Structure formats: C-alpha cells, structure tokens
Structure 1
Amino acid sequence: MLIKVFTFSVHRQLWRMTKNVAAQHEGSLKSVHHFSFLQQIQQRLNHGLSLRCKNLSGTTDPGICLRTNSSWSREVESISTLKIKSDKILVPKESTASLQNKQGELYGRIVESFPPGIEMAFAYGSGAFQQNNSLDQSKNMLDFIFVVNKPKLWHEQNLKVHPHHYSFLKRLGPRTVYRMQDKYGAGVYFNTLVPMEGRLIKYGVISTARLITDLLDWETLYISGRLHKPISLVIIPGNEDLLTAMKVNLQSAVHAALLLLPDMFTEEQLFSTIAGLSYAGDFRMAVAEDSNKVQNIVRPNLALFRQMYGPILLSDEHLTWWQDEGQLEQALTFHSRHHHLKCLPGQVLYGLLMQKYQVGVFPDLEEIIKKHAYDKECGKYVSTSIQHIVKKSSLTQSIKGILTAGFIKTLRYSSSKVLKKLRSR
C-alpha cells in the first residue's frame, strides 16, 4: 500500500514537471477488447474530408467551442463509406463470442424488420448492457433509437408494416405522427412495449437534423445524453456531419464534467459525472427511477467508458490521467476553466448568460465565458444550466409519451419503473 501511495506521489511530481506524461500511457488503451461506437467510427476514418468546422471555431455562435486541436482535425479529416455492422456490438467483458454473435444477429433481425431509410440505429440501456441491478439482461426490454432522414415518409411506411406499434394517433395519419415527433418534447417519437423476436422492445425515431442539433448544442440532452453512455451500434451512419457531431458530443461531456469535479478524482467519479449529466434535473429520477441508476450503469462498464473517453482525456493539456491507479488530476485555474467553458454547448452557455445577466442584456460570448471563468464556483452555474435543460425536456417528453404510447402502455411502463425503484431500496 505504501509503495502504491509513493508511486502515485512520484507520478504527481512528474506531471508538474512536464505536461506530456499522459501521452506515455496512450498505448495501454489498446488492451481493452471491446468495441465502442467511437472505435467503430474511428476505424473507418481515412483521409480527405474537411471538418467544415467554421461553426466549431471562434465565431460568436454560442453553440460550439474552438475544437480545432491538431489531433482532432486529423481524426475527422476524412470518412470512408460506412457499411452496416450488426456484429460489432458492446457486450459485458465476461460475455462469450457466441453470445456476442447471438446478440448481433438478434439486433440485426429486429432492425431489418423495419422500413428502409434508417441512417443510424443503436441499442442502449439495461437490455443491451449489464447493469448492477439487473442480473438477467434477457428479461429486460430492449431499447433502440432509429435516426432517419425523412421521418414523415418513414412513419408512413412503418404504419403500413407495423400499425399495431402505434397508439390511437395512427388514426390521424403519418403527418400527425411526424408533427408529434418533431414539434413537441425532445424531437423523438417512442413506441414501447412492442413484442419482437421473443423480446419486448421500445424504439424511438428522431430526424438526423434534430439529432445533430442536440449533439452540438444540447438543445434537450435527451438523445445526446444517451450517447454519453456505451451503445451498441446496429447501423453505423455514413453522414459526415452526424459522425462529427457524435464526437463533439463526447468532448462536450468531458468539458462539462471537469467543471463539476474537484482537482483530484477517480475514473469512476469522472464517468459517473458524465453519465449523470442527462439525469440531472430529470423529475423521473425522484419518482420512478432507481436512485443508484448512474452507478449501476458505470461500474459494470468501466472498460467501455475508458475506451470511449480515453483519447479525449489523453489529449487534454489541463488534465493528467494515471491509468494504473485509476486517478485523474486537473488544474483548477482561470485558464482551465476558460478552456472548458468555451467548449460547452450553446444551450448550456445560454443558461450561464441567464444566470449572470438581467433579461434583455446580451453581452459578447467571450465576456460571459470570462466572467464565469474568474468565478471559482462556476461549476454550480454549469450544473444549474444543465439541470434546466434536462428538466424541461424530460417533462415535455414524458407528457408526449402518454399520447404516443397510449394510457394503458404508459401505466404498464411506469409501474414497472416504480417497482424496479422500490426493489432497489
């Protein structure tokens, strides 16, 4: 134990002498034998595509930060044609290759039963990943998100193939279904408690454009928040803007989490903070969700979180990550806070504006960032801003869910959540 403490102390001294020590550990990430969606994408990053990131650099648009470091530019310089890969899915470490193939085939069959036009599809939640409060994944509902370019046309086709998936809203036609999806809540339309392939599934439909906006600006943090956690990609997108937005979303999560954390923290604390961003302010956490939900997600899947966020952590000059000890340290200075603040999504920055200035006062973006960067308690303002986003979107989406699922399905789904919460106590 004394040796470990001494080693950790030496590491800290070395970090203060040079900011490049973290790069020495980069190779150790390769020893993790899981596939995250980020890896699947990065394996298909070649050369030739411009980032087209004028909005991602220093404009006055509060939506996106200066994300122009050389490593990031090189990674997203080009993207080759992507193909559907239903066999590369995220599974717990102890799972066998046969189970992985079986799950991949199941996910593939489910997605293939829907109309064409799905640009990206992924599975998430306790039905796809091991969680501490759920020993048998096969008994849990499988959750999917389908990203489509033309949602109205897609719903029109799906209503012909699977009319029984929809509530009474199907009688009002695909135009109404699409308007319900796009105009209300978080821009996603869910059909739940649908029996397919011997499992119950829930699937949400969102337009590509709406998802990109949420990934970049955290307009609702509803689907972008789900992409902060490990997912199982069934259809990998070929849309360059969507791929870029997915990585920006991960970077934003790291910047936000670091503003909420102290100078010293563990990997589990970091990943729990990231995973908890989209639950902060969600009224369902107090009513129907397991109070240990975030820890149940993170602890069994630490290796997957490391793989998702490892490259981002190693490239941050304000952070040092001692992987052997599972410890991280950041410099809590004006410069580090300024760096992270300017990389926050637009909706979070708007919340910071509303907390520091009177209504009707719209100062320059840089002025807002600097004012918060000088404040050592800026993490509290960031947290409040994120909570406001989640509170609004979770409430409106839940109200919409009563209409899209129907009263009986809503009652069944909600009661199962409440019972799960009671059992966790």
Structure 2
Amino acid sequence: MALQALQSSGVTFRRILSHFPEELSLAFAYGSGVYRQAGPNSDQKNAMLDFVFTVDDPVAWHSKNLKKNWNHYSFLKVLGPKFITSIQNNYGAGVYYNSLIMCDGRLIKYGVISTSILIEDLLNWNNLYIAGRLQKPVKIVTMNEDITLRSALDRNLKSAVTAAFLMLPESFSEEDLFIEIAGLSYSGDFRMLVGEDKTKVLNIVKPNIAHFRELYGSILQENPQGRLEIDKSPEGQFTQLMTLPKSLQQQINHIMDPPGKNRDVEETLFQVAHDPDCGDVVRLGLSAIVRPSSIRQSTKGIFTAGMKKSVIYSSLKLHKMWTGWLRKTS
C-alpha cells in the first residue's frame, strides 16, 4: 500500500505531539525540517518543523488546545473556538495555521484541518493545498483506522501520477516524473513569484528520489531506473483525463468551453485529449485551482498568525528566496 511509505515513528515528532490534544485522525510532519532539501533549505537541524493536524471535531479540538496552548494563537483566540473553526473551515484552504511556536526546544508551525475537508481535497482537489503537501514525502506521526481517509490518501497519490503523465512527453525519466508531481501544487502559486525559492521543486526532489520512489512504488508497480514510456494517444489521454479529480476536470472545462456552448465535461475532455497542447491545458487547470487557494490562505495567515509573526515569517521566506538567487548567480 502506498500509504505505508509515509509511516514514521520519530521520537521527536511524538514528543511534540504530546503537547497537543490527542484527538487527531492524522498528524504528519513535512518540509525541510523533516526531509533534507538542496539549496537554502539544506540546514535540517535548525529548520522549522512543519506539522498538519487533522481533526474530526475542530471546535472541540481548538477548545482543548486553547486551554493547553493559549499563547499559540493570535488575537483571534479571544473570540473562542467556534469563531476560530469558522475561520479555519470557511476561508482560505480550510486549514488554520499557528506559526513560529517554540515546542520541546524546536521552532514549529502547525496547521489544523477538518478530516472531512481534507478528504474532499484529497479526492477532488478543491484547493490542492494540504492534498498537495501529501503528494510529496511526509512523516506520518499518527493516524487512526479511518478507512475513508486512508483510501482518499491513496487516491490523491494516484491522481498526482495521472496529472503528471498528462503533462509529460511520451518518454521521460523517473526523476522527471517526480519533479512534475512535486510541482503540481505549486502551479500558479503566487508565493513562487514572491517569497519562495524559484528552484524549490528541484531542491525538494533531487535529495529525496528514494523517498518519492517509496511513496509511489506501489502505484508505478516497479522502480525502473531508466526511461519511462506512457500512452500519449488521444484514447490514452482521454482515459487519464476522465480519472482526474473533479475540480481539475471542471477547471479544464471552464478554460476550454467557449461562451454559449455549455458543453458537458466529458465532451470537453474528449476534445482536450485530441489537442497537442493537452498537457498545457491540464497545467492551466491546476493553476486555476492553486492560485486563488494560495492567495486566500496566505491572506488568512496574517490574521491567524498575527501581524508580528506574519512579518517575521515573511522575512524568513524572502531571505530564503534571496539566498537561493545568490547561490544561483554566484
């Protein structure tokens, strides 16, 4: 099962988790503090640890967390757990982040998302935000036996492979595939223009080929080290397009459907399958999901983190971008 590649029993992560309410359906750590990255994020030891906590009942969870970790929250804490949950669920990408927290001797950032909203994102790519995080290697710290969630996690990985296939040429390397997959959730992300190192995707993939291979091994069914080949015929592409997540199909339909035509999605996908620029259309569809999602989530972060922390966090991101640029030009 592809999910087993995500499992981890890191003592540090479990210690950090002990500072939070226990009712988590899934908790995972990700980013440069977990997996080594090339470039300006290569200092793993001092990197901030990023977590996502998935909870069935956000109101109850935030209520308990406010009692345990009142100082983690911005001024929004005075409005109570129901208001915090409303901000979490209804704005941005359905996740509420607390940033720049000292916990067990490490600087951490953690996001809280409802289990039901995560499952929707994994299956349909409504935001491709947390779903995008889970298309790259992460460390699962804890996960319950929710069959629906586990199935959605696997479906997200299969969808990532399908989308990447559509954007790749007929013949490509294993590394090409993983670079395409890792870049899915950055398509159209405005932070790649301001605040993120432009070589971020390469820096994620190159030191972690083995981890990507482990994550996607059961889907690809083998680990060929040479060239991969896929069916780029209109029939083959149509089959792949028809299995894409619903939100991406709808965005492709919106892009390709001329005014007044009102064609159904299947008709549009059939047309795209015969288009030599099929991969570019898929990429435009991804950008149409990611761009507004990333803007809304980053705007929400100003309020959930507080102005002071937002300025500090943004400065750190810009410093990374500047460092990456200097290394590239030196």
TM-score for both structures, normalised by structure 2: 0.95
Task: Provide the rounded CA distance (Å) in 1 between the counterparts of 2:270 and 2:288.
Answer: 22
Matched AA of 2:220 = L
Report the CA distance between 1:362 and its aligned residue: 4.0
Is 2:120 aligned against 1:213?
yes
Residue correspondences, number:
324
Q: Deviations over 1:20-43 (max 9, x none)?
A: xxxxxxxxxxxxxxxx972258xx
Report the CA distance between 1:267 and its aligned residue: 1.1
Matched AA of 2:91 = Y
- Does the 8 Å contact 2:30/2:49 carry over to 1? yes
Is 2:169 aligned against 1:262?
yes
Counterpart selection for 2:233 from 325, 333, 349? 333
Report the CA distance between 1:311 and its aligned residue: 2.1
Question: Residue in 2 aligned with 1:382?
Answer: 282
Secondary structure class of the residue paired with 1:328? strand
Task: Provide the rounded CA distance (Å) in 1 between the counterparts of 2:187 and 2:26.
Answer: 27
Matched AA of 1:117 = E
- Does the 8 Å contact 1:341/1:373 carry over to 2? yes
Is 2:68 aligned against 1:161?
yes
Task: Provide the rounded CA distance (Å) in 1 between the counterparts of 2:2 and 2:85.
Answer: 28
Task: Provide the rounded CA distance (Å) in 2 between the counterparts of 1:184 and 1:359.
Answer: 30
- Does the 8 Å contact 2:38/2:204 carry over to 1? yes
Q: Deviations over 1:148-198 (max 9, x none)?
A: 000011001100110000000001111110100000000000000000011
Counterpart selection for 1:413 from 313, 316, 324? 313
Task: Provide the rounded CA distance (Å) in 2 between the counterparts of 1:121 and 1:394.
Answer: 21
Aligned pairs (5 A) from 1:100-115: 104-115=10-21
Aligned pairs (5 A) from 1:340-419: 340-358=240-258, 361-419=261-319
Matched AA of 1:283 = F
Matched AA of 2:37 = Q
Is 2:53 aligned against 1:146?
yes
Is 2:208 aligned against 1:301?
yes
Task: Provide the rounded CA distance (Å) in 2 between the counterparts of 1:229 and 1:215.
Answer: 13
- Does the 8 Å contact 2:96/2:304 carry over to 1? yes
Is 2:151 aligned against 1:244?
yes
Q: Which runs of 5+ in 1 are unaligned?
A: 1-35, 42-87, 90-100, 315-320
Counterpart selection for 2:90 from 176, 183, 187? 183
Question: Residue in 1 aligned with 2:195?
Answer: 288
- Does the 8 Å contact 1:152/1:175 carry over to 2? yes
Q: Deviations over 1:188-244 (max 9, x none)?
A: 000000000111000000000000000010000000000000000000231111111
Indicate how the Cα distance of structure 1 residues 156 and 359 shifts in structure 2: closer, same or farther if over 3 A, else same.
farther
- Does the 8 Å contact 2:119/2:152 carry over to 1? yes
Question: Residue in 2 aligned with 1:38?
Answer: 3
Matched AA of 2:234 = F
Matched AA of 1:348 = L
Counterpart selection for 2:42 from 135, 139, 142? 135
- Does the 8 Å contact 2:242/2:269 carry over to 1? yes
Matched AA of 1:212 = I
Secondary structure class of the residue paired with 2:193? helix
Q: Percent identity?
A: 46
Matched AA of 2:124 = D
Indicate how the Cα distance of structure 1 residues 245 and 362 shifts in structure 2: closer, same or farther if over 3 A, else same.
farther
- Does the 8 Å contact 1:322/1:328 carry over to 2? no
Report the CA distance between 1:117 and its aligned residue: 1.1
Q: Give the greater-gyration-radius structure (CA).
A: 1
Q: Which runs of 5+ in 2 are unaligned?
A: 326-330
Report the CA distance between 1:147 and its aligned residue: 0.3
Task: Provide the rounded CA distance (Å) in 1 between the counterparts of 2:174 and 2:133.
Answer: 19
Question: Residue in 1 aligned with 2:134?
Answer: 227
Is 2:288 aligned against 1:323?
no
- Does the 8 Å contact 1:180/1:189 carry over to 2? yes
TM-score for both structures, normalised by structure 1: 0.74
Matched AA of 2:125 = W
Matched AA of 2:21 = P
